[in-house]
Structure 1
Amino acid sequence: MQHPKKKINLAMSVLDLVMVNTGGSPSQSMRNSLDLARHVERWGYNRYWLAEHHNIKGIASAATSVLIGFIAGGTSTIRVGSGGIMLPNHSPLVIAEQFGTLESLYPGRIELGLGRAPGTDRLTAMALRRGGLDESEEDFPNSVEELMSYLTPQTTGTDVRATPGEGLNIPIWLLGSSIFSAQLAAEWGLPFAFASHFAPAHLESAINIYRERFQPSKTLQEPYIMAAVNVFAADTDEEANRLFTSVQLMALGMIRRNHGLLQPPVSNMDDLWDQLEKYAVGERLKYSFVGGPAKIKNGLESFLNQTQVDEIMGVSHIYDHTARLRSFEILSLI
């Protein structure tokens, strides 16, 4: 098989939701995630992030901090973090302690990406937050500030401290699928990651706002943007298109409010959706790169010319583990 001769000069990373396959189990999915992390570490990927979701049958990454420890403990050099921790579900102090513990165990390798969505439905969000849904959109910046204060060195006396956590240099990212977190990340001089793999509509506006309003900080002197995109790479375009039907089925289930396990690929989607559903799935998965090496490279080059992002985070909900490994291997060679 021929790979493109000139590689794209861009950092590549991985976002993993620890998808559970039909006929599989959360345990097997977690073991597969560790195997993937070990492979992408060897292939030169920059970071491996796990995402917090709750009450979704096909996603096994609810206990995100625990899984970060599992992945970091089974690898040696790749950075491991959250993409992200949904901060409204948690006490900032608890997150500071959890990530302080992780950073103490795996120094220099832990990253904390923060989001303001619950990562679940309203009823589950209430169950997660025993005090109810009191936190509003306006409270998110205050919670981030509180969390950051626990991680900075304390020069004056305080009654509440994160131990471990205080004084540790844990990189903090803000995550978003709209312009809200882009504005906040710019104001505070933090790196920004956009969830364009499932929410493409506001990518360009969020990038523009972040760059225009960015204020240098001790953390970051220049804007830094990472975009999450779907990548389904295979040795041929035909095989990649077949693999892609698993995520199309997943998106179709979300539109129909039916969150199930990850389905095996099918030969023909037209028997399974109507034209409106096909359009809706296509819009949701707009930033998906599907094909053999040459097609993936051309698609990513066009995306980079359009967005000028600093890093790509690949999301690959591929049913077969071996095929998923191959997809990330091909991406590493692009």
Structure 2
Amino acid sequence: MAPIIPLSLLDLAPIAEGTSTADALAQTVRFAQTGEKLGYTRLWYAEHHGMPSIASSAPDILIASAGAHTSAIRVGSGGVMLPNHVPLRVAEDFRTLEGLYPGRVDLGIGRAGGSDGRTLQALRSFGGEHFSEQLAELLAFDTDGFPQGHPFGAVRVVPDNIGLPPIWLLGSSGASAHAAGQMGMGYAFAAHFSATPPKPAFDAYRQGFVPSAQFPEPHTIVCVSVVCAPTDEEAQFLSGSQELSWALFHSGRVRKLVAPEEAAAHDYTPGERAIIENQRPLWIVGSPETVKRKILEKIEGTGASEVMIATTMYSYELRLRSIELVAKAFGIEPRA
């Protein structure tokens, strides 16, 4: 039986209270192997800097690790925040990854910085206003597309006999979607943190889409935040971890991911409750039946090609159970 819609994973490598960053990084390997076994299409890694609750700051390295420990699932970035990098280095890194794991790598690119202003300054970030220029430079390095006389025209990108993997633009607006379509790229919509409906962006993407070698047809992904458990009640309890952590983060009290028991006992201030209530509609929380219904409601009428799931939970084992429950609910065929 065909699955309802292909499912993929976004891993932020969450760091729980009582654990270390090294623990979170080690867990990414088993998460990748489990996702592959369950039949998920692809696994992407985010880029965030200076956040005590997120270990995924170097997606290219996590891709290399996941690729070495899997054999079928696609591995990629969700995404490389291009303003933090020089395009030549991105071209080298992802050509290398494509050479190591041919046909399995995705290059997801975003224009945000993924951190606070001071950290971005330390990263020597170029800022989002230069994103279009950086992206054009990246593509020119890959295709020898610099105009005659350009100072970078003689630069050799090594590996020099391997092209970049498929490129995806990440965003939540019609402008980013239209740009992805015009350049013949895939488009991933960040519904896990944007309240903007994805349909207008997807319509803009498809209307402006120009076929390319990597994408002969339009391909869209909706990324959603999911906490799944056998019952709605347990899922709501477990979701308390991300709720309290989110409230603390946006109140300037940055911590690792807190335990759901602490969240249940926490005396929330009116300000914290307001922060959570503003975000709660973006979190899909519940039993497999509830999660399936809410995801299908989220993508109804959008023409989404695929759904990508981000799961932030205190317990690593329950996080693995969550993605298993969702895969079964959607009829995803496990890999042998």
Alpha-carbon distance change, 263 to 76 in structure 1, aligned in 2, over 3 angstroms: same
Alignment-mate amino acid for residue 113 of structure 1:
G
Alignment-mate amino acid for residue 204 of structure 2:
I
Residue 148 in 1 paired to residue 139 in 2?
Answer: yes
Match of 1:55 in 2: 50
Alpha-carbon distance change, 134 to 19 in structure 1, aligned in 2, over 3 angstroms: closer
Instruction: Note the 1:224-303 alignment, pairs <5 A.
Output: 224-266=219-261, 271-303=266-298
Match of 1:314 in 2: 309
8 Å CA contact 1:182–1:209 kept in 2: the answer is yes
Alpha-carbon distance change, 294 to 136 in structure 1, aligned in 2, over 3 angstroms: closer
Residues matched between the structures, number: 325
Other structure's SS at 2:155 match: coil
Alignment-mate amino acid for residue 181 of structure 1:
S
Match of 1:19 in 2: 14
Match of 1:187 in 2: 182
Alpha-carbon distance change, 85 to 165 in structure 1, aligned in 2, over 3 angstroms: farther
Alpha-carbon distance change, 270 to 304 in structure 1, aligned in 2, over 3 angstroms: farther
Alpha-carbon distance change, 9 to 248 in structure 1, aligned in 2, over 3 angstroms: same
1:294 and 1:191 mapped to 2: Cα distance? 29
1:287 and 1:116 mapped to 2: Cα distance? 21
Alpha-carbon distance change, 136 to 214 in structure 1, aligned in 2, over 3 angstroms: same
RMSD: 2.3
Residue 111 in 1 paired to residue 111 in 2?
Answer: no
Alpha-carbon distance change, 99 to 234 in structure 1, aligned in 2, over 3 angstroms: same
1:218 and 1:74 mapped to 2: Cα distance? 28
Match of 1:213 in 2: 208
Alignment-mate amino acid for residue 220 of structure 2:
I
Match of 1:80 in 2: 75
8 Å CA contact 2:94–2:164 kept in 1: the answer is no
What is the CA deviation profile of residues 142-169 of structure 1, one whole-angstrom value per residue up to 9, with x for unaligned ones? 2112112222367999411210155425
- Taking structure 1 as the reference length, the TM-score comes to 0.90
2:180 and 2:15 mapped to 1: Cα distance? 32
2:272 and 2:307 mapped to 1: Cα distance? 28
8 Å CA contact 1:53–1:62 kept in 2: the answer is yes
Correspondence for 2:86 among 81, 86, 91: 91
Alignment-mate amino acid for residue 249 of structure 1:
L
Match of 2:116 in 1: 121
Shifted more, 300-309 versus 277-286: the winner is 277-286
Where does structure 1 lack aligned partners over 5 or more consecutive residues?
Answer: 1-5
2:160 and 2:12 mapped to 1: Cα distance? 26
Alpha-carbon distance change, 332 to 251 in structure 1, aligned in 2, over 3 angstroms: same
Residue 160 in 1 paired to residue 151 in 2?
Answer: no
Q: Percent identity?
A: 37
1:102 and 1:287 mapped to 2: Cα distance? 33
Per-residue deviation, 1:7: 7.4
Match of 1:3 in 2: none
What is the CA deviation profile of residues 257-306 of structure 1, one whole-angstrom value per residue up to 9, with x for unaligned ones? 22210111137659533445434323324232211121112212222214
2:267 and 2:289 mapped to 1: Cα distance? 29
Residue 31 in 1 paired to residue 22 in 2?
Answer: no
2:184 and 2:66 mapped to 1: Cα distance? 28
1:136 and 1:71 mapped to 2: Cα distance? 29
Residue 177 in 1 paired to residue 168 in 2?
Answer: no
- Taking structure 2 as the reference length, the TM-score comes to 0.89
